[in-house]
Structure 1
């Protein structure tokens, strides 16, 4: 019987197995129950025979196929565990070292890049600072030049308007004769105005197109002195005729009489400031508002203690 056959049929063989001594039982005729054991071959003491194999003949191979004990298995596992732990330790250490080297390399490259960028930014910043200083210096220079140009422009505007005056609020008429209106104005205020002293007369456009008041009459005279003479005479006339100031009827303009004003030919900015000053004077009960030589002035009343206030700009009106 082979070992494989025994192992495959172990359960059934054990149930039927009996030792040789039990099998060798003979019954006597005299019915004696005492058994008589016969001599049997030693081979009958075996429950199964092992088939000879090639490993039996080979002593070295037989010793190698000997059963492995628990201690040996435990030793093998311990040796494998130690070896595996060492391998893992070495592998992890190698990977960590590699990662550290890579990080060092990347960090070095990054720091070099940042350092280069910082140097470039510092250079650009220095260039920008220099440019800003140059621009600031140039801006100051240009601002100074602009202020000079503005002063020159104002001076030129005053000079170009120094011989002009405006007759305001005269009703418009298609058949009107502006030279005749100027002549009648001179007669009413007792100033001789010859045709030679009047260079030109014309209506000028309104600052506010929607305004209902008629366009002003712009008169260009031969000299600034003649203009000042007419302005002074006009103010004197209104002071003497407070009840009946100069109107369009005095100038021979048909229609309902409307009050007429004679003033300097102001620049648009000064004219706007003059309008703001008149509005503020009405609100704050200032009695006198006038413009002279392109400047605006106000006065509270006729008392000597009331000083003349020069209105330089709109901010000065807030300080009244």
Structure 2
């Protein structure tokens, strides 16, 4: 295991082989503070950092650190000196001023003592600690690089999608507009709005040709009609019932102003299932008149239909007129949709616009 870092050189040292300052408690290599390896230290030993401010007595025997210099054994006469030009020897006096080339062997220097086993063990521990730190740093860098690669890949994908969208927009901007594209877009939007308005009328029915009196109750009328058709209606089944539209008066009547056609009764039911049962019973009992409802006045045939939007009512009327001119037998509505069929067994066509009328029934001039 690695020891504690030396306060002088910063490398690791073991607590057994190093020395510890009694004041700042810092650890040092013995070589860093000039303490012999086997020398015993007192508990009050101070490191150089703690004793650098103490006044010294300048004794002659004060040790000086860092004097391990190489000394040359041979005398100046024994060292051959040659000039840079030739091989003529020069005197030692002229040594400092003349160019020279000096050579000596390794035996001329003081030999450094071999490293002890304790120091070698500390060095190995320090190397192992450095290796572990490098491996840990390498793993962290690998994880960071992997995350960076993932982030860069995501950024590249987003940039590619943005470039594709930008290319598509530039292509659309450069292409000339198609003739009638704006009209088609407006028609599609109007058709979509009409479909949404029709969806709001999914629980409504419309009753027409019921005589209108000044004190009639539309809610009571629909209950009576339900009993006639075999569908019992409770007050909770009726959300609202009222006559809609303006009154149409015939001013040419002999008795004064007379009503040419009664207003329609619009009923909103609480459940679609009740509405569907009423419409199915009305289709089965076609031909029912106001006489069956015990209403005063001459008998008049009344009709129950789905409530349509204004656009769909006009389209339904045009589709019925076109069918009568082209011998189509069936034109009806179901869940707000206008459907047509030439004869039993043929395919059913959904009519959503006047263009569909021309497509289904063919060109009709009088429509």
* TM-score calculated relative to the size of structure 2: 0.43
Over alpha carbons, which structure has the higher Rg? 1
- Greater helix content: 1
**Higher RCO by CA contacts (8 Å cutoff, separation 6 or greater):** 1
Q: Normalization by structure 1: what TM-score?
A: 0.49
